[in-house]
Copies of this chain bind each other. A is one copy, B any other.
Amino acid sequence: MIKEENIRRVEPYVPGEQPNGMDIIKLNTNESPFMPSDMVAIALASMTPDQMRKYPDPEASMLVETIAEYYGVDEDQVFVGVGSDDVLGMAFLTFFNSGKPILFPDVTYSFYDVWANLYKIPFKTIPLDNNFRIKVDDYNQENGGIVIANPNAPTGIELPLDAIEIIIKNNPDSLVIVDEAYIDFGRQTALGLINKYDNLLVVRTLSKSRALAGMRVGYAFGNKELIKAMKDIKYSYNSYTLSAAAIRAGVAAIRDDDYFKQLVKEIVDTREEAKVTLKKMGFDMTNSSTNFLFVTHESMSAKEIFEKLRERDIYVRYFNKPRIDNYLRITIGTKQQMRELYEALEEILAAK
């Protein structure tokens, strides 16, 4: 066997279960419960043999132009990748090379420490307060970069834009990544700040609000110098990361704006109803601005509820981690799925 010293060893990220089956209610990976725009299926079905046999456009120009136009930014302020995980991974590799620790909350998207370990980037986690809120002043210390998910996951809490701006402003020497995977379900994007601050990268995905997790499309906005540096790294890794199919599917999903707005409205409405319903059942929760709720129950442990729901083929996410091991992350499903969830929870809690 090759020498152990040759091999990079990591503790790999464990993604949420992807169970199959007709009767499963899957509220565990924050996918959209709705199908993507019909335009996506049409885009895939109308791919030509030439698009399949030739290498895709390495610039994915069609997608970059569509994103730039939709969001009103310049094309050279847009980076695209294979889901926001690819975009974030490239950003870590490109910008976190100072040797100083990067900062992110102790409770946040669980890939940040995985990437830091993968690329041997020192990091320091900053505790959220007792209500799972980010304390802005804590990010006022020497660092090699900052990563803030906003709204944060799995807490669902959105930090107001003025607080985000303070963090960016206080750290002009480091890159501040604002991971806005869930912003379409929230209030205020930091996108408007990219022309004001050249140390800001705003990362997005089509996986949640555009119902396109299966096609793997993510993107980022930033100052054109930042985007250029990321593109150089991307081209050094793989010139053709986005398939011709992913490019076309992404374009179709973004162009169908009416459908997108309808999906988001439906999920936000269902979320607000769910907050009321679950509170009546004895759940406490953060004020989520996302497509999921982060809940804890007054009398039954999260682990037990998780297991009992699973027995009923209802999958939610349970993290066996410090501070959050009595919480469940529940993705907002369709109204029908949520009704079935409420019924199951009532049974489970009544049987206690």
B-contacting residues of A (Cβ < 8 Å)? Answer: 1-3, 5-15, 18, 26, 29, 31-36, 40-41, 44-45, 47, 49-58, 82-83, 85-86, 89, 93-98, 114-115, 117-118, 144-145, 172-175, 198-199, 207, 211-216, 223, 225-226, 229, 231-233, 235-246, 249
17 A–B contacts, CB within 8 A, in A order: A1-B199, A2-B95, A6-B95, A6-B96, A6-B175, A8-B233, A18-B57, A40-B52, A44-B47, A52-B214, A53-B213, A54-B213, A83-B238, A86-B237, A118-B237, A214-B245, A243-B243
In the A-B complex, the 9 residue pairs with the smallest Cβ-Cβ separation, listed nearest first, are: A35-B49, A214-B244, A12-B235, A45-B45, A85-B238, A15-B239, A245-B245, A12-B232, A53-B211
B215 touches A52 (CB 8 A): yes
Give the most central of A26, A118, A236: most B CB within 10 Å.
Answer: A236
Closest to A30 in B: B55
A233 cross-chain contacts in B, Cβ below 8 A: 8, 10, 12, 118
Known: A1-B225, A47-B214, A215-B243. 19 other contacts (CB 8 A): A2-B174, A2-B199, A3-B98, A6-B175, A7-B95, A15-B239, A18-B57, A35-B53, A40-B52, A44-B45, A52-B214, A82-B82, A83-B240, A85-B239, A85-B240, A86-B238, A86-B241, A115-B237, A216-B243
Expressed in whole angstroms, the minimum distance between the Cβ of A104 and any Cβ of chain B is 16
In Å, the complex CA distance between A245 and B85 comes to 18
- Would you give the shortest CB distance from A20 to chain B, in whole angstroms? 9
Between A93, A117, A207, A235, the greatest number of chain B beta carbons within 10 A of the residue's beta carbon is seen for A235
The residues of B that contact A98 with a CB separation of less than 8 Å are 3, 5-6
Contacts of A223 in B (CB 8 A): 1
Number of copies of this chain in the oligomer?
2
Do A214 and B7 have beta carbons less than 8 Å apart?
A: no
Known: A35-B50, A52-B212. A118 touches B29 (CB 8 A): no
Whether A47 pairs with B53 at a CB distance below 8 angstroms is no
- For A253, the closest partner residue in chain B by CB is B52
* CB-defined contacts of A89 to chain B, threshold 8 Å: 237-238
Task: For the complex formed, measure the closest distance between the CB of A265 and the CB atoms of chain B, giving whole angstroms.
Answer: 17
Chain B residues within an 8 Å CB radius of A29? 54-55
A18 contacts B52, C-beta separation under 8 Å: no
> How far in angstroms is the closest Cβ of chain B from A3?
5
Q: How far is the CA of A11 from the CA of B215 in the complex (A)?
A: 30
The distance from the CB of A33 to the nearest CB of chain B, in whole angstroms, is 8
Instruction: Check A236–B6 contact: CB distance below 8 A.
Output: no
Q: How far is the CA of A245 from the CA of B47 in the complex (A)?
A: 12
Output the least CB separation between A65 and chain B (Å).
15
Residue with the greatest number of chain B CB neighbours at <10 A, chosen from A36, A86, A93, A245: A245
Cross-interface CB contact of A53 among B34, B55, B96, cutoff 8 Å: B34
Bound Cα distance A11, B235 (Å): 9
Q: Is A52 within 8 A of B211, CB to CB? A: yes
Q: Which of chain B's residues have a CB closer than 8 A to the CB of A118?
A: 93, 233, 236-237
